[in-house]
């Protein structure tokens, strides 16, 4: 991968990181909102649950984006963390934070191989 390409992905990932950090801060506000009204309480509980699900998804994504930026810094970006093949530019353009080539990602999705990010998320949820 050329330096220019790397810079391009870095810019995209930095923007994602800022956006996600901002979104996560706002979600936390929603998640702790309280009301004395019982009816609102039920509705808010539903909204809280949704907010927490989004929070989970976004914090996982943020973790992946941070890990991708770390891989750019250490020079391992764009290489599949499982099979060590180059990840196709098409895939990196679509999912710049990915740590896997398409074949390995499919295996991760089927739980055939363990994703470090999945493992992280499991550990974070267990804590
Ligand atoms: Zn792979």
Domain ranges of the chain: 3-126
Ligand 1 center to 24 CA (angstroms): 30
Q: At what angle do helices 116-126 and 38-74 cross, to 10 degrees?
A: 140
How far is ligand 1, taken at its centre, from the CA of residue 68, in Å?
15
Q: Is the pTM of this model over 0.85?
A: no
36-90: pLDDT as tens digits = 666 677 888 888 888 888 888 999 999 999 999 999 999 999 999 999 999 999 9
User: What DSSP assignment string belongs to 59-94?
Assistant: HHHHHHHHHHHHHHHHT-TTB-TTT-PBPPHHHHHH
pLDDT digits (tens, 9 = 90+) for 8-31: 999 999 999 999 998 888 766 655
87 CA from centroid of ligand 1 (Å): 7
Q: Of 67, 58, 66, 68, which is closest to residue 26 (Cα–Cα)? A: 58
The superfamily in CATH containing domain 3-126 is DksA, coiled-coil domain (1.20.120.910)
CA of 104 to the centre of ligand 1 (A): 4
What distance in angstroms lies between residue 98's CA and the mean position of ligand 1's atoms? 11
């Amino acid at each position: 991968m050329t330096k220019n390409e790397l810079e391009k992905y870095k810019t995209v990932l930095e923007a994602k990181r800022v956006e996600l950090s901002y979104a996560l801060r706002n979600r936390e506000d929603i998640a702790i909102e309280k009301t004395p009204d019982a009816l609102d309480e039920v509705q808010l509980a539903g909204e809280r649950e949704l907010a927490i699900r989004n929070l989970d998804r976004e914090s996982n994504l943020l973790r992946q984006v941070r890990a991708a930026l770390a891989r750019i810094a250490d020079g391992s970006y764009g290489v599949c963390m499982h099979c060590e093949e180059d990840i196709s530019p098409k895939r990196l353009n679509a999912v710049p934070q990915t740590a896997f080539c398409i074949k390995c990602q499919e295996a991760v999705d089927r739980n055939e191989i363990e994703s470090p990010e999945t493992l992280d998320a499991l550990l974070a949820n267990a804590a």
